[in-house]
Amino acid sequence: MSVSTDRLREFTFTLEYEPGEDEVADLFRDHPNLRASMIDINTGDRSYVRLVQLTGPPEATDHLQTMLEDREYLPRAVGSDRCCGTSTAYRLECAPRQRLVYAYVDRICDCQSIHNIASAYLDRGTIFECRHHAGRERWRLLMRSDEAVGELLEHIEAACRDGVTVEVGHLGEATEWHGEAFVDADLTGSQREAIAQAAARGYYERPREVTIGELADELDIPESTLSYRLRMAESRLVKRCLNRYAENDDALHT
């Protein structure tokens, strides 16, 4: 048995919806602080597993979660039809400002969605990353081979209805993982929990929706302990960002 160390290929593009064209996109446009990140793994021609993270103001997050549940976490068609299928969803985290949901979606009908179109050109096991913000969807497809990407792009552009446009990003070697929103290996468990709870309860909002003392009382830990965990987590995250910017600058000048 051989183990390949080759890198995956990545293809990125953005879908933009005109105002009034899609209710989900309009919700993001109406709430600039609302965000959603989705990671899907294609398990067959008509199925995938999905991990969804929603963050933002509680009322907007509630509304978005209700929309996605009403659609059963099915893919959204870029054409004029609507996707159908079956799904099972499990809530992994449910805080006022942050939700994490696992969904298994199966028996998707023959609709013009990114997932369905891609399944005709890309291998099973393709990873779909999608980030929603302010009416735009930023897609990143991670795949074993990019031989059919040209045909895939042509099909996506042809399938898009009026009011939905495609902006091509890039095609190349996948050099990093963008899933920090879901997994953060640099932080300890207590640091990750502290910063996640602080973000979920509005500690990082301006103005702050909770003080560190109130948050410590809610979590039933000393204020000094919570403050220390947050400082350590913030320090590690800032250093990571600075290192990433430095690496990007080095790459630009080589």
Model pLDDT, residue 252: 47
pLDDT-based confidence at 205, cuts 50/70/90? confident
Residue 32 has pLDDT above 90, yes or no: no
Kindly report, residue by residue over 149-190, the tens digit of the pLDDT.
Answer: 999 999 999 999 999 999 999 999 887 665 555 545 467 778
Q: Name the CATH topology of 184-252.
A: Arc Repressor Mutant, subunit A (1.10.10)
**Cα 159 from chain centre:** 23
pLDDT-based confidence at 5, cuts 50/70/90? low
Read off the pLDDT of each residue in 234-253 and give the average, rounded to a whole number.
60
Read off the pLDDT of each residue in 113-142 and give the average, rounded to a whole number.
90
**For residue 90, which of 80, 82, 100, 81 has the smallest C-alpha distance?**
100
b/e per residue 19-37 (b: at least 16 CB within 10 A): eeebebbebbbebeebbbb
Amino acid at 72: E
Minimum mean pLDDT range among 97-106, 135-144, 205-214:
205-214
pLDDT-based confidence at 200, cuts 50/70/90? confident
Amino acid at 238: V
Kindly report, residue by residue over 43-94, the tens digit of the pLDDT.
Answer: 877 889 999 999 888 899 999 999 999 989 999 999 988 899 999 999 888 8
Model pLDDT, residue 179: 54
Query: Whole-model pTM?
Result: 0.72
The residue written with tokens 């399938």 in the block is 159
3-state helix, strand, coil in the chain (%, to 5): 35, 30, 35
135/52: higher pLDDT: 52
Whole-number Å distance between alpha carbons of 194 and 215: 9
Instruction: Provide the angle, in degrees to the nearest 10, between the axes of the packed helices 223-252 and 189-200.
Output: 90
**How many CB atoms are located within 10 Å of the residue 50 CB?**
22
Read off the pLDDT of each residue in 242-247 and give the average, rounded to a whole number.
55
Contact 72, 82 (CB under 8 A): no
Peptide bond into 75 cis (omega under 30): no
Minimum mean pLDDT range among 63-77, 132-146, 195-209:
195-209
Edge-first strand order for the sheet with 9-17 is: 86-95, 98-106, 47-55, 35-44, 127-133, 136-143, 9-17, 164-173
Provide CATH 1.10.10 ranges for the chain: 184-252
**How many CB atoms are located within 10 Å of the residue 127 CB?**
18
Model pLDDT, residue 241: 63
Amino acid at 221: I
Amino acid at 39: I
Residue 244 has pLDDT above 60, yes or no: no
**How many CB atoms are located within 10 Å of the residue 157 CB?**
14
